[in-house]
């Protein structure tokens, strides 16, 4: 018999939005399975909820490791209700600067980690005929950010995957929302939090990019507590949106981007429509 308490599976739970979400969910009486690279560190930040909290050291790049973690969640709590794919990191550097290994490593965490979790969770959600998947993308998934091309590539892909997933899992009663936050006051841009390409080229001025982001850290207008409260409310909503932008900056960026795309499409419309057989 399923418990009235929802069971959440949250990745990237050590800091920032992930940690804030873990604390909020537990404080509202639900249960949490949280993935991290350091369970002891996470336990030191979350305490008092021992019977409802299962922190796991998980390598999201390892498909079998992820499957084992999801199985542990089911074994511990008997069900799975909300999956939040939050883990990720920014790698600064132009496309030219990034090595093949660096680019692929970014995708392994930001993209394939999400895919691995979805694949591991879906057999249980499909069997339950219920569940909710929240994939965290970014405003960088709607407009490519210079000197963060690998990050944008992953975040664009997460939007596309979420759209495909939405169509695939509707018959099973499982819902999905892809969330694209703008700038929120987390540690994402703190000095030392962003990795940079080792092959730095003066032409792209990566050092200046790092300094700019570090200066902005702690000054972002987005309140992470408001963001995670919205995610919690969505878990109770019978009809959540497929796409959700969070933050006035994300909203304006996407509106502006769509207008530019519309203008460009119309400018080249004649050529676009000229390709059928006569």
**pLDDT 10s digits, 73-115:** 999 999 999 999 999 988 888 999 999 999 999 999 999 999 9
* 3-class secondary-structure state, position 230: helix
**pLDDT 10s digits, 45-82:** 998 888 999 999 999 999 999 999 999 999 999 999 99
Write down the pLDDT at residue 274.
97
pLDDT surpasses 90 at 153: yes
Q: What angle do CA 228, 234, 238 make, to 5 degrees?
A: 170
Write down the pLDDT at residue 24.
97
Write down the pLDDT at residue 238.
95
Write down the pLDDT at residue 219.
67
Phi, psi of 87 (to 5 degrees): -60, 140
Q: Which fold has domain 7-272?
A: Rossmann fold (3.40.50)
Strand partners, 8: 32, 82
**pLDDT 10s digits, 191-209:** 456 788 898 888 887 666 6
**Domain segments of the chain: what residues?**
7-272
Q: Which residues participate in catalysis according to the annotation?
A: 137, 151, 155
Higher pLDDT, 242 or 48: 242
């Amino acid at each position: 018999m399923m418990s009235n308490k929802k069971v959440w599976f949250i990745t990237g739970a050590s800091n920032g939005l992930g940690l804030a979400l873990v604390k909020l969910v537990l404080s509202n009486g639900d249960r949490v399975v949280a993935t991290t690279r350091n369970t002891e560190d996470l336990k030191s930040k979350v305490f008092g909820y021992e019977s409802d909290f299962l922190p796991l050291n998980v390598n999201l790049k390892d498909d079998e490791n992820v499957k084992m973690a999801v199985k542990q969640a089911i074994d511990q709590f008997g069900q799975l209700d909300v999956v939040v794919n939050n883990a990720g990191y920014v790698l600064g550097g132009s496309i030219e600067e990034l090595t093949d290994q660096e680019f692929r490593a970014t995708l392994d965490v930001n993209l394939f980690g999400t895919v691995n979790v979805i694949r591991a969770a879906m057999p249980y959600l499909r069997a339950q005929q219920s569940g909710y998947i929240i994939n965290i993308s970014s405003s960088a998934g709607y407009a490519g950010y210079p000197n963060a091309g690998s990050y944008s590539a992953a975040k664009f892909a997460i939007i596309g995957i979420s759209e495909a997933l939405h169509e695939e899992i509707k018959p099973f009663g499982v819902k999905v929302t892809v969330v694209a936050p703008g700038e929120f006051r987390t540690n994402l841009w703190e000095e030392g939090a962003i990795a940079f390409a080792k092959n730095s080229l003066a032409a792209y001025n990566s050092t200046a990019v790092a300094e700019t982001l570090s200066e902005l850290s702690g000054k972002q207008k987005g309140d992470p507590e408001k963001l995670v409260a919205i995610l919690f409310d969505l878990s109770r909503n019978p009809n959540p949106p497929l796409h959700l932008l969070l933050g006035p900056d994300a909203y304006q960026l996407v509106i502006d981007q769509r207008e530019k795309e519309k203008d460009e499409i119309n400018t080249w419309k004649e050529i676009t429509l000229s390709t059928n057989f006569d």
